[in-house]
């Protein structure tokens, strides 16, 4: 049972050796697809006997990963990124998993690994640890199931392993991602297939976590249209929150309350909505009303896009309003909560 490691990289000469060192003894083949490095990434990959291919960057991660997968010859493909690291304990677990696969003790189509360390780094992620599909059977056989009324098993067999990968990004990638989303909107205007509901929600999340006011303003019209078209409730909520944030920051009070009331009427009372209402009343010079909404963001609602809206941001907003009202003791308590939330992984 052979494992092909497939990667897409660009200017990763510093991080690539750390990643590939962790995979020694696990990887039987290393495929590195370079999307335009100008540093010594290729030389770093060559030190690990990697097969190196060039792929012109077309602002499409899926296209690059599909190209990398097409070059693999192993039984399983492990999809890696240069900013990942597997420690000694989890490396042993990976080797044991490989033994079990080789001996036929299990035969999954996909193996999921824990992806961790997100909130300790500069990232747009909203969680600290979650399962991700990382190991894939390269050629999936079709199997009949059922002693009678048999049918082909279509759903993949997914195994959740206990193996943990530390993600150690070296910087914020949101600006790059948001530019790709903007290009997708332009392609839609020219007749391309609309972005999926899944991508729409991810676009909203990246905007909320790392977007500038200009990026919100640029996307607001698109999200307003998608809010009217979407049937998925979570997608409608995400779209409305983007429009709400853009309208609030630009001073369009009529649009702000139209989308705020739409969310309320649809039963979506998220931390983001409460936080935006708090910001509105603070801008309007009403710190008492603003404090009420900041407290609700922290205690009466749950975050939908950005976990910090129900923690650090809400607590800090409440503290600032209470201090403006002269309640120093309560302000200090909320400020302490803000500090605790900013330091605690979720």
Is there a contact between 273 and 241 (Cβ–Cβ < 8 Å)? Answer: yes
pLDDT of residue 118: 65
Tokens of 70: 């097409």
Domain ranges of the chain: 3-167, 173-248, 269-346
What CATH architecture does domain 3-167 belong to? Answer: Alpha-Beta Complex (3.90)
pLDDT of residue 120: 58
pLDDT of residue 190: 94
- pLDDT means per 10 residues in the chain (346 residues)? 97 96 97 97 97 95 96 98 96 97 96 83 64 95 86 94 88 79 94 92 91 93 94 94 95 96 94 97 97 97 92 96 96 92 50
* pLDDT one-digit tens code per residue, 259-292: 999 999 999 999 999 999 999 999 999 999 999 9
pLDDT of residue 209: 86
pLDDT of residue 227: 94
pLDDT of residue 148: 82
In three-state form (DSSP H/G/I as H, E/B as E, the rest C), the secondary structure along 174-210 is HHHHHHHHHHHHHHHHCCCCCCCHHHHHHHHHHHHHH
| CATH number, domain 269-346, options 3.30.420.40, 1.10.10.10, 1.25.40.10, 3.40.50.620 | 1.25.40.10
Is there a contact between 312 and 344 (Cβ–Cβ < 8 Å)? Answer: no
> 160 CB contacts (<8 Å, ≥6 apart)?
111, 112, 131
Q: Report strand pairing: 158-167 vs 51-54.
A: unpaired
Q: Report strand pairing: 110-116 vs 158-167.
A: parallel
Using alpha carbons, list the distances in angstroms from residue 160 to 88, 108, 114, 128, 132: 20, 10, 9, 17, 9
Question: Length of the chain, please?
Answer: 346
pLDDT of residue 345: 44
């Amino acid at each position: 049972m052979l494992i092909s490691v497939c990667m897409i990289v660009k200017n990763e000469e510093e991080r690539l050796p750390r990643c590939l060192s962790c995979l020694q003894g696990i990887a039987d083949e290393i495929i590195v697809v370079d999307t335009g490095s100008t540093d010594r990434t290729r030389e770093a990959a060559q030190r690990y006997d990697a097969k190196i291919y060039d792929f012109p960057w077309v602002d499409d991660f899926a296209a690059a990963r599909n190209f990398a997968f097409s070059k693999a010859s192993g039984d399983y493909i492990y999809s890696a990124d240069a900013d990942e690291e597997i420690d000694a304990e989890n490396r042993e677990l990976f080797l044991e998993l490989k033994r079990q696969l080789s001996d036929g003790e299990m035969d999954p189509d996909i193996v999921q690994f824990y992806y961790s360390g997100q909130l300790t780094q500069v990232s747009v992620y909203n969680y600290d640890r979650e399962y991700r599909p990382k190991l894939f059977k390269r050629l999936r056989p079709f199997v009949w199931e059922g002693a009678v009324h048999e049918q082909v098993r279509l759903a993949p067999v997914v195994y959740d392993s206990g193996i943990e990968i530390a993600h150690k990004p070296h910087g914020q990638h949101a600006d790059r991602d948001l530019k790709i989303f903007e290009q997708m909107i332009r392609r839609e205007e020219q007749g391309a297939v609309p972005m999926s509901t899944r991508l729409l929600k991810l676009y909203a999340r990246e905007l909320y976590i790392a977007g500038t006011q200009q990026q919100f303003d640029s996307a607001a019209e698109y999200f307003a249209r998608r809010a009217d078209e979407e049937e998925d409730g979570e997608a409608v909520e995400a779209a409305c929150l983007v429009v709400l944030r853009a309208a609030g920051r630009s001073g369009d009070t009529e649009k702000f309350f139209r989308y705020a009331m739409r969310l309320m009427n649809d039963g979506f009372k998220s931390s983001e909505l409460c936080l935006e209402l708090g910001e509105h009343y603070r801008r309007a010079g009403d710190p008492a009303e603003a404090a009420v909404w900041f407290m609700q963001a922290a205690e009466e609602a749950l975050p939908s896009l950005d976990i910090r809206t129900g923690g650090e941001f809400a607590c800090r907003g409440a503290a600032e309003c209470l201090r403006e009202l002269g309640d120093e003791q309560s302000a200090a308590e909320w400020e302490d909560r803000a500090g605790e939330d900013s330091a605690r992984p979720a």
